[in-house]
Structures are given as C-alpha cells and as structure tokens.
Amino acid sequence: MAVDHTPDRMTQPPARTLPVHAPLEQFPVHAGELRVGGQPLSLLAERVGQTPFYAYDRQALRNRVASLRKALPPAIKLHYAMKANPMPAVVGFMAGLVDGIDVASGGELKVALDAGADPQEVSFAGPGKRVPELRQAVASRVLVNVESPREVVELQRISQELGLPARVAVRVNPDFELKGSGMKMGGGPKQFGVDVEQMPQLLADIGRAGLDFEGFHLFAGSQNLRPESICEAQQKSYELALRLAADAPAPIRFLNLGGGFGVPYFPGEQRLDLAPIGENLAQLLARAGTEMPQASFVIELGRYLVAEAGIYVTRIVDRKVSRGHVFLVTDGGLNHHLSASGNFGQVVRKNYPVTIGNRADAGPAETVSVVGPLCTPLDLLADRMALPPAQVGDLVVVYQSGAYGASASPQAFLGHAPCTEVLV
C-alpha cells in the first residue's frame, strides 16, 4: 500500500474513524422523505393505514435479481428460498423473476404453488418432513431433498400408493464447513442432510426403492460476505457431488450448490463482491460440460434477494430522557423484528441501519436509543445511534429488513398488535 508522506498528514493524530454502515441507495430521499415504491413514506403509511409495517419495493427486487443474473453465468438457475420472506405477494412476485422456489415446509409448499411456481422447479428441503408433507410433495411433483433414510422409506410407500415416483435429490451433509458464515448448516454433526459417509448406502436404497433420483443438494451455511469462502464451498461441493455420482442410481441432472450470499447489516460490513463467484461458477460449468453433462446447476438464495428491498416502519409514541439519555419509544420492536433487536442468532448485538424516514435528509443530530414498547430490555432497535432529531409521531425506519422479519418474529409476545406487510 502507498504511504502518504505529506507533512500535514504526518502531524495529525491517526484518524480513528468508527466503522459505518454500507451505503444504502435502494430508497431515495426527496424533500426529507424516504421514498418507497416511488411514494413518500408518510403517504405510504397513510395508505397502509397503520404502523408498524414492513414495506417491500418491487423495483428494488427486480434490480437485485437483474444485477445478480448479470454477474453469474446464464446457465445457473436462481432459486428463491422463501423462508427469508414468505409473504404470498412477495413469493408471487419472485416466482416471476427467478427460476424456482425452495420451500422448507408443507405450508411454504402451498404458498409457492398458489403463487404459480412451476412444480418442476420447486424443491422441498428441511429436517423432519412429516408424512402429510411428503405426500403433498409427491402429489404435486416437486423435488424432495431427502434428509434421512426414513424419508426414503416413506417416499417409497407414498410413491406406490399414489402411483407417482417421487422426484428426489439427496441433501448431503458435507465433510467441510462454509468458512465465515453467520450460520453454519453443513459439516460436523448436523440435523441437516445425510452425512457423506452414509451416502453409498442411501443412494443404493433410493435405487432399489424406484424413486426418481435427480441429484444432490449441498447447503453449507448462510450470511457470508467473503467471496473466497463461497467459491471454496462451491468448488468443494462440486467435487463432492462428482465423487458421489459414482454411487448414484442415475446420472446427475440436478446440482444445487447452495447459496449463503450475505448482505451488509452492521457497521463495517461491505456488500458481497459477486465477480469472483461468477468466475468460479463459470469454471465449474465448463468442467461439468464433460464431467456431469446432464446436470443443471442451481443457486438458492433467500436474504440476498429480498433483504435490501425491505424496510420496517414504526412510529414514535414517546420521547423520554433518562439521566441525560434520549429514548425514542416506538409502537413496534422485537415482537415484529427480532433480528434487528439482535436476538435472532446474533452473538454480539449490533445496530441495523436506522433512520427517521420523514426527516431522512436532516443528518445525524443527536445520539439516541430506539426502543420498542415491550416490557423487556431486549426490545432495542437502535443502541446509542446518531439520528436526525425526532419527535412523537415521526417514523423510524429500519433498513435491510426484507428478510427474516415479520415471519421470524414472536408477534404474540406481550400481546401487542401484529404488524402488517405491503409490496409496493
């Protein structure tokens, strides 16, 4: 790195810049108001008719999928893992943008099919699939990502009863982890997938059961912002699938390399650089041309597709000063947005990006804490953050909230009203 030897720099104390949130450009600001779906936030709040609410922006979703497609080889199929945001309107909209939907319960399967997803491009993963869920999957001809020997036994019986061979892929618990992930979901002992060591036996069982074997599913982890780790996991997943193909009852037609693409939530985090991932996938596809000629490749993403296109909006109901510290008390918090409160798997609580949506051009003026209405100290949306000066009635906006929000929060906790959601 170049060293700056200009005298004035050398005489100044070293800059101690605090880490900041990655720039947020999805929602422009005009005349002080954040705009969502082209509308000023205050007007949108009137249209919604209540606070708190989540708003998801169609154009931001479109832009996200378009930029992702530009960065990845065209042959890669994009699947939306709908557990990130299962709002039916969002799933319906996403179904028109991506190539397939990944579901993780019978309930999600219903939403995906109602949304018009093509069953050929729907896959169903998750531990502990119950018999009624497996029957739903076989009857609707979606792909089941098998996660245990029991599922093979059940699927054989269901296939015979319904006269339809179940379409299956095997979710593999690999012998490696996705380094630097927020949540690790492969490697070591796991409830997800089938250990590599057990694969030869399971693949033989699938062949004997007469199931329609299509390929493999590998999902190493989530919320990763390190392209080199994602590339390494994809590389290893490909190699592993190639090894396992030797024992498979049919040629590999489907290879789901997982996802794990993260988004910047906290100060100091940067957006994921897709270029190396695109290059790595192009190399794998080139190899697959000879090594796995029938395989189509899938990447499954949840938060990466939807998180940045959504905000949570909650109104300030009280402004209190306690021993000199300002608390903005809002009409929703942890009960609607568990992850922004820091209680959804985070080890250390950090602030999501937050602003005052109807004074968004005012610039930071005071250091405050934003707390929800729940009678617990865990209900914290912003801890000592510099925000524009805010009053009762103003709208607090939590960015990066399009994933793991409403459906991932304990809405009944403490008996407050549930939030609502809009797609604009």
Ligand X SMILES: *Cc1c(COP(=O)(O)O)cnc(C)c1O
**Which residue ranges make up the site for ligand X (CB under 6 A)?**
81, 83-84, 102, 125, 219, 222-223, 259, 300-304, 403
Residue 87 or 385: the one with the smaller Cβ distance to ligand X is 87
Nearest distance, CB of residue 19 and ligand X, angstroms: 22
Shortest-Cβ-distance residue relative to ligand X? 302
Smallest Cα–Cα separation from 223: which of 263, 257, 186?
263
User: Please, which contacts does 78-82 make with residues 24 or more away whose CB atoms are closer than 8 Å?
Assistant: 78/298, 78/299, 78/301, 78/305, 79/121, 79/123, 79/256, 79/298, 79/299, 79/300, 79/301, 80/300, 80/301, 80/302, 80/305, 80/306, 81/259, 81/300, 81/301, 81/302, 82/108, 82/111, 82/112, 82/302
Nearest distance, CB of residue 190 and ligand X, angstroms: 11
Name the 3-class secondary structure at 382: strand
Residue 154 or 300: the one with the smaller Cβ distance to ligand X is 300
Question: Would you say 241 and 292 are in contact if contact means Cβ atoms under 8 Å apart?
Answer: yes
Nearest distance, CB of residue 138 and ligand X, angstroms: 20
Residue 222 or 335: the one with the smaller Cβ distance to ligand X is 222
Nearest distance, CB of residue 261 and ligand X, angstroms: 6
CA angle 170/172/177 to nearest 5° reads 160
The CB density around residue 397, as the number of other CB atoms within 10 Å, is 23
Residue 83 or 315: the one with the smaller Cβ distance to ligand X is 83
Smallest Cα–Cα separation from 381: which of 420, 336, 334?
334
Nearest distance, CB of residue 394 and ligand X, angstroms: 31
Nearest distance, CB of residue 396 and ligand X, angstroms: 24
Residue 67 or 391: the one with the smaller Cβ distance to ligand X is 67
Query: In sequence order, which residues have a C-beta less than 8 Å from that of residue 183 and are 6 or more positions away?
Result: 221, 222, 223, 345
Nearest distance, CB of residue 224 and ligand X, angstroms: 8
Cα separation, 379 vs 338, whole angstroms: 9
Residue 319 or 350: the one with the smaller Cβ distance to ligand X is 350
Strand partners, 100: 79
Question: Would you say 23 and 271 are in contact if contact means Cβ atoms under 8 Å apart?
Answer: no
Residue 193 or 388: the one with the smaller Cβ distance to ligand X is 193
Nearest distance, CB of residue 272 and ligand X, angstroms: 11
Residue 26 or 222: the one with the smaller Cβ distance to ligand X is 222
CA angle 316/321/322 to nearest 5° reads 125
